[in-house]
């Protein structure tokens, strides 16, 4: 019986090694582009394909090139990685310029509330108080009547 199992094992091993090896090809997706945005120059850089995306024709169309004009090159100082770019990346350019310009170029003093200088209040002068008539003048006013004051209130 042990010879039977040995023969069975031998046939099984032989059958397994004679199978043709199947090659499984797994298609790996191309690496998705990673864009760096330079807000001051308004330029995108695709780090996977090594291409620049920038506006041409008086800011009307987007172009792709391996090199950018020297004017733009001089303005490329600070950049930020676009986490989840839209397709095409420049579709959200207005939003990118707004958000990343403020993020990279704003200083802490830009967000401090500026206080207005204190205002100086003029001192309030009290209205003159009428003096009450006393003595002889009061007596004469009672006998001969009051003299009309030039005060418009009365």
Is residue 92 classed as helix, strand or coil in its secondary structure? helix
User: pLDDT band at 93, cuts 50/70/90?
Assistant: confident
The structure's pTM equals 0.50
Domain boundaries, the chain: 35-106
Residue with tokens 């090594």: 50
| Per-residue pLDDT reduced to its tens digit, 4-44 | 666 656 666 666 655 555 666 666 676 777 888 888 888 88
Helices marked H in the chain — which ranges? 2-18, 70-74, 93-105, 135-144
For 118-150, the pLDDT digits (tens) are 777 777 777 777 777 788 888 888 888 765 655
- What pairing do the DSSP bridges indicate for beta strands 61-65 and 80-81? unpaired
The conformation of residue 7, written as its DSSP 8-state character, comes to H
């Amino acid at each position: 019986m042990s010879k039977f199992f040995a023969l069975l094992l031998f046939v099984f091993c032989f059958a397994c090694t004679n199978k043709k090896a199947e090659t499984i090809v797994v298609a790996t997706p191309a690496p998705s582009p990673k864009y760096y945005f330079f807000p001051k120059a308004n330029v995108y850089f695709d780090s996977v394909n090594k291409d620049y995306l920038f506006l041409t024709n008086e800011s009307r169309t987007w172009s792709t090139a391996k090199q950018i004009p020297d004017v733009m090159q001089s303005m490329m100082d600070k950049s930020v990685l676009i986490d989840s770019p839209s397709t095409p990346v420049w579709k959200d350019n207005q939003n990118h310029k707004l958000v990343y310009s403020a993020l990279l170029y704003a200083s802490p003093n830009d967000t401090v509330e500026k206080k207005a200088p204190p205002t100086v209040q003029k001192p309030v002068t009290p209205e003159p108080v009428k003096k009450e008539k006393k003595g002889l003048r009061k007596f004469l006013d009672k006998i001969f009547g009051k003299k009309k004051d030039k005060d418009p209130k009365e």
